[in-house]
């Protein structure tokens, strides 16, 4: 279940907190009544987004974007704000003018949440997460379309390798033929290759085997007569 929900739901909570919390802390400076209720509600998210964007662009200008640089930058921003608040409070206590106090406007009173309401809200959250998990399971299943992959690659040592990967969802028997024109240069079988498994075969040096331009590698399923997959190696 946890895996179906992006491995770690706590990380999502942390991500939301990172978007909202530093900005929310900064916005504590704003008197509650200074903004319309809906604007004040979303302003934490907006400032959180803006903060990350600006910090990111500035970080890029002086260094690289890494986890520690992000953390350091955010600590500096929030710490700087904290210091400013303390300085501002001390300034007020010295008799200097206080920060502006704003006219009051409409504000929300959070309603009392009844137990039944809470149960329904939690149930809604649970069902929604279940819906996502169900959709993910369905999408994963759709990605299991049976297939076989055949490819050729050259190793650092200069050896040409032909690889077969079975993704058919069941154990498979394959036969591989290497041809130069009508002449078969090599032939081998891959027996009982389990689904998800891969078989690799080193080709003998091709240059010695054929005078023709291209070599064709054909993969057959079990006793099929027509090739199921094929490759062409130009020379």
Partner 1 sequence: MTPAATITAPRGGANDMSTSGLTAADAGARPVMPWLPAPLREFLGVDGHRASGSEQALVSDALGALPRLSLWAAVMLMALAFAFNGSLRDEAWAHNGIWVALAALVWPFAARLLRTDVSEFERLGLLTVLGLGLFVVRILHNPLAFADHDEFLHWRNVEDILSTGQLYATNPLLPVSTRYPGLAVVTAALVQMTGLSVFAAGLVVIGMARWIFVLSTYALFRAMSRDVRLASLGAFLCMASSNFLSFHGQFSYESLAIALALFSLAMALHLQRAPMRPFLVALPLFVAAVVALVLTHHLTAYFLLAALGLLTLATLVMDRDRDAVWRLAALTAVVFVLTAVWQRSAADHTSGYLLPILGQVRDRLVEIVHTGSFGRRLFVSESGVLMPLWQRVISLAAVALIGLGLLTGTLRTWTLRDPQGGLAWPAVFMVLAASYPLCVALRLDPLTWEAGNRLGTYVFVAVAFVIAHAVAHHWQGRSASAPRSAIVACALTVLVIGGALAGAGPLMQRGPYLVGAESRSVEAQGLRAAAWTREHLGPGHVVASDRINRLLSATHGRQRVVTSLHDGVDVSPLFLASQFDEAQEQLVARVGLEYLVVDERLATSLPFVGHYIEMHEQPAGHHEPVSLAALRKFDGMPSVSRIYDGGAIAVYDVKALGRAR
Interface of this chain with partner 1, residues 96 to 125, rule: CB under 8 A: 100-104, 106-114, 116-118, 120-121, 123-125
Q: Does 70 bind partner 1 (CB under 8 A)?
A: yes
DSSP type of residue 101: P
Q: Which span (36-44, 170-178, 179-187, 202-210) binds partner 1, by CB under 8 A?
A: 36-44
Work out which of 16, 98, 184, 204 binds partner 1, going by CB under 8 A. Answer: 16
Helix (H, G, I), strand (E, B) or coil at 233: strand
Q: Does 2 bind partner 1 (CB under 8 A)?
A: no
Count of residues that bind partner 1 according to CB under 8 A: 98
Query: Segment 156-185, which members bind partner 1 (CB under 8 A)?
Result: 167
Tokens of 175: 């036969």
Residue partners of 177: CB distance under 8 A and separation at least 6 = 184, 186, 187, 217, 218, 220
The Cα-based distances of 204 to 40, 162, 183, 185, 199 in angstroms read 72, 11, 15, 9, 16
Q: Which span (80-88, 151-159, 185-193, 199-207) binds partner 1, by CB under 8 A?
A: 151-159
Q: Does 52 bind partner 1 (CB under 8 A)?
A: yes
Closest approach, Cβ 8 to partner 1, in A, equals 7
**Geometric angle at alpha carbon 71, from 65 and 75, rounded to 5°:** 130
Work out which of 82, 83, 132, 222 binds partner 1, going by CB under 8 A. Answer: 132
Q: Does 214 bind partner 1 (CB under 8 A)?
A: yes
| DSSP-derived pairing of the beta strands 160-167 and 172-180 | unpaired
Number of Cα atoms under 13 Å in the Cβ half of residue 64: 2
The Cα-based distances of 233 to 151, 166, 180, 183, 218 in angstroms read 10, 22, 10, 15, 11
Work out which of 21, 24, 25, 35 binds partner 1, going by CB under 8 A. Answer: 35
Q: Which span (67-75, 169-177, 181-189, 195-203) binds partner 1, by CB under 8 A?
A: 67-75
Single out the residue of 173, 180, 182 nearest to residue 219, CA to CA.
Answer: 173
Q: Does 223 bind partner 1 (CB under 8 A)?
A: no
Closest approach, Cβ 141 to partner 1, in A, equals 8
Work out which of 21, 77, 152, 199 binds partner 1, going by CB under 8 A. Answer: 152
């Amino acid at each position: 279940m946890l895996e179906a929900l992006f491995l770690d739901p706590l990380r999502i909570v942390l991500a939301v907190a990172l978007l909202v919390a530093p900005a929310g802390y900064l916005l504590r400076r704003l008197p509650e009544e200074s903004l319309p209720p809906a604007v004040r509600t979303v302003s934490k998210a907006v400032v959180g987004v803006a903060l990350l964007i600006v910090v990111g662009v500035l970080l890029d200008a002086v260094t690289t974007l890494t986890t520690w640089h992000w953390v350091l930058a955010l600590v500096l921003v929030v710490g700087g704000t904290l210091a400013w608040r303390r300085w501002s409070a001390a300034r007020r206590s010295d008799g200097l003018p206080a920060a502006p106090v704003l006219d009051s406007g409409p504000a929300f009173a959070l309603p009392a949440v009844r137990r039944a309401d809470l149960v329904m809200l939690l149930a809604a959250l649970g069902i929604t997460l279940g819906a996502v998990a169900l959709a993910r399971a369905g999408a994963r299943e759709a990605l299991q379309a049976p297939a076989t992959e055949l490819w050729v690659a050259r190793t650092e040592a200069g050896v040409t390798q032909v690889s077969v990967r079975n993704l058919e969802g069941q154990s498979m028997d394959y036969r591989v033929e290497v041809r130069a024109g009508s002449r078969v240069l090599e032939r081998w079988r891959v027996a009982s290759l389990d689904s998800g498994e891969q078989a690799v075969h080193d080709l003998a040096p091709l240059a010695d085997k054929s005078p023709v331009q291209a070599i064709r590698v054909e993969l057959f399923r079990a006793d099929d007569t027509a090739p199921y997959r094929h490759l062409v190696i130009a020379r």
